[in-house]
Amino acid sequence: MPEISRFFGIIIRMFYDDHDPPHLHAEYSGKKAVFDLEGNIIKGNLGLKTATKLVREWIDLHISELEEDWQLAKNNEDMKKIDPLP
C-alpha cells in the first residue's frame, strides 16, 4: 500500500484498486483508521483525538489531490505524493 504523505508521525496510504467509497488509511503510533474523503472514520481509531483532528485538517486541505490519487489508484497508476501539514 503506497504511502502518499507523512506528517507529525502520521502515515497516510491508499491501496491500488481498492473498494468504494473513496478512502485513505491512516496510521499513528501503531493505531490504524480508515477515513472517507469527507474526514469521517469508517473503521478503526488513531488513539489520540489530536491525530484524528490533524488527519481531518489534512484531508480538507488536499481533497482535490486525494480524489485524483483515488482515481489513479483505481486505474492501477502511480499515485502522487501529497504535501504534509506545515
Other beta carbons within 10 angstroms of residue 79's beta carbon come to: 19
- 0.85 surpassed by pTM: yes
pLDDT at 76: 92
The low-confidence residues of the chain, meaning pLDDT below 50, are none
pLDDT at 18: 83
Q: Write out pLDDT tens, residues 44-68.
A: 999 999 999 999 999 999 999 999 9
pLDDT at 59: 98
pLDDT at 19: 86
